[in-house]
Amino acid sequence: MKKRGVGMAVMWYPVGPGGDNPSTARVQMDGSARMTIYVSSPDVGQGSSTALAQIAADTVGIPLEWIDVVAGDSDYAPEMDFGSVGSRVTYVQGNAVRLAAVELQKVLVAAARKLMGIAEDRIEIELGVAWDRKGQAGPVDLSVVAEHAMGGKGPLRAEGTFQPVGMKDNRRDGQGIVYPTFVYATQMVEVEVDTETGEVTLERMVAAHDSGKIINPMLVEGQIAGGIAQGIGMALSEEVLLRDGKTLNPSLSDYFLPTSMDVPDIQFVHVEAEEETGPYGAKCVGEPALVPTAPAILNAIYDAVGVRITSLPATPEKVLEAIHEKYGGGGAIPWGRGPERAAMLPNGGSPPKSETRHFPERVMHGYSTESELLQRLEAWRAEGRGVALATVVKTWGSSPRPEGSHLAVEEGGAFVGSVSGGCVEGAVISEALDAIADGKPRLLEFGVSDEQAWEVGLACGGRVQVFVERVE
């Protein structure tokens, strides 16, 4: 027998990693009015180079095809950038590109004023031509304007830096703004569950995302579809199987990624709540697309057959076992929603036992190794800055960082390293700033057990004990 159900999940997601994560962009224009953008964050497939080019094209007033983007080349790109992480590139680096393009356009307008003999406020640059808004002076090709502005001294250059709202108000009471803005989404999915095999088939999905003003709808929908595909794998098939420390499915022949045949038809709904601090009102879309997919699928399974799957992936074996456990070997399954949640949980409502996760390699926040962290710490000390060091001394359950992990914080609020997830990190940084100020060490404990997190529906669990001290 096959049963159908509908599930929904909603989410909010911060733009960027939180705290200070500035970005700098450089732009250059030659005598043909061709423009090159230099940025540090690479385009890793999300289409950010196209979005940055669109922002620059609209700002300067030239066709998109006149723009080249050099991303992630350390020989040419500015050094100041946090990287392609936290779904920050369009918002943070896009703002930097916009600011650089504004500066370049000022130079072009000033040169056009001399060529056209009119006031700057009458000049508009559009599609690579400088126009007189009153139509009295003849149009001038932008290549002529650029050549005049260069004055035989080489290409025109401009630079822009954007710093999102940081943690400056968060140091004492913990109530400041950590993230500049947030995105929101709701996803709904219809599934079909085979009660004889446990197989789950996705029939269709609806994805409504608030990503701010959409700069490129095709790229945004590609990002959402990609996130949904990842979420489908997380929900239904992707699992690393281990036995005695050995990976039993080390290749793509037995680690099951979803294919195009596993992704249903997706209806995209763009909720364009423009962000006043974003470039042309844009926010982000990359990572958030993944977040609600798996919860929506699990809710749809529950709606179809009345069983809760509380560990991922929801393989046919797990679904069938849950059905047999609840209905006694595949008895009659009611349509629609099952009984109250507590009665649906295995082992009489008891949560699963937690176990400590072990990390084979310690990688610090911001992709900094421990040696890089220590180098940064010593550099701050050499500059005479007050510095505090936070160290993970004990963990329980699925804490995101292993014991011995470090976070270094300097008196201005800059930090390197990591001792936990984002919700704990801000509190540790605030305590570290206090330790710098009063010189007193402190032993802190954060988080809840895996069991408590599971009971209240938190996405993460685990407790962590952190020792914070001023480094003299």
Q: What local confidence, expressed as pLDDT, does residue 461 receive?
A: 56
> How far apart are the C-alpha atoms of 23 and 21, rounded to whole Å?
7
19-162: CATH, from 3.40.710.10, 3.10.580.10, 3.30.365.10, 3.20.20.70? 3.30.365.10
Question: Which one of 221, 275, 287, 410 is the catalytic residue?
Answer: 287
65 an active-site residue?
Answer: no
For the segment 284-336, what is each residue's pLDDT rounded down to a tens digit? 888 889 999 999 999 999 999 999 999 999 999 899 999 988 887 544 444 33
User: At 452, is the pLDDT very low, low, confident or very high (cuts 50, 70, 90)?
Assistant: low
User: At 360, is the pLDDT very low, low, confident or very high (cuts 50, 70, 90)?
Assistant: very low
CB 223 within 8 A of CB 284: no
What average pLDDT is seen over the chain? 83
Backbone angles phi, psi at 48, to 5 degrees: -65, -35
Q: What local confidence, expressed as pLDDT, does residue 406 receive?
A: 87
Supply the Cα-derived Rg of the chain in whole angstroms: 27
pLDDT > 60? residue 346: no
Task: State the average pLDDT over residues 403-421.
Answer: 84
What angle in degrees, to the nearest 10, is found between the helix axes of 94-116 and 142-150?
90
Instruction: Mean pLDDT check: name the lowest of 187-196, 352-361, 390-399.
Output: 352-361
User: At 126, is the pLDDT very low, low, confident or very high (cuts 50, 70, 90)?
Assistant: very high
Task: Tell me 196's DSSP state.
Answer: T
Tokens of 154: 């080489």
Nearest one of 180, 370, 421 to 429, comparing CA atoms: 421
Q: What local confidence, expressed as pLDDT, does residue 377 receive?
A: 87
Better pLDDT: 314 or 179: 314
Q: How many residues does the chain have?
A: 472
Q: So where are the chain's domains?
A: 2-12+180-349, 19-162, 370-471
CA 2 centroid distance within chain: 37
194-251-229 Cα angle (round to 5)? 50
Nearest one of 231, 223, 216, 227 to 272, comparing CA atoms: 216
pLDDT > 90? residue 420: no
Give, rounded to a whole angstrom, the gap between the first and last alpha carbons of the chain. Answer: 70
- Please say whether the dihedral angle defined by the alpha carbons of residues 365, 367, 369 and 371, taken in this order, is positive or negative: negative
User: Identical fold at 2-12+180-349 and 19-162?
Assistant: yes
179-184-188 Cα angle (round to 5)? 155
Task: State the average pLDDT over residues 12-33.
Answer: 88
For the segment 64-120, what is each residue's pLDDT rounded down to a tens digit? 999 999 998 888 878 767 777 778 888 888 999 999 999 999 999 999 999 999 999
Nearest one of 181, 184, 182, 232 to 208, comparing CA atoms: 184
Helix (H, G, I), strand (E, B) or coil at 69: strand
CA 86 centroid distance within chain: 3
CATH 1.10.645.10 holds for 2-12+180-349: no
Nearest one of 253, 279, 244 to 88, comparing CA atoms: 279
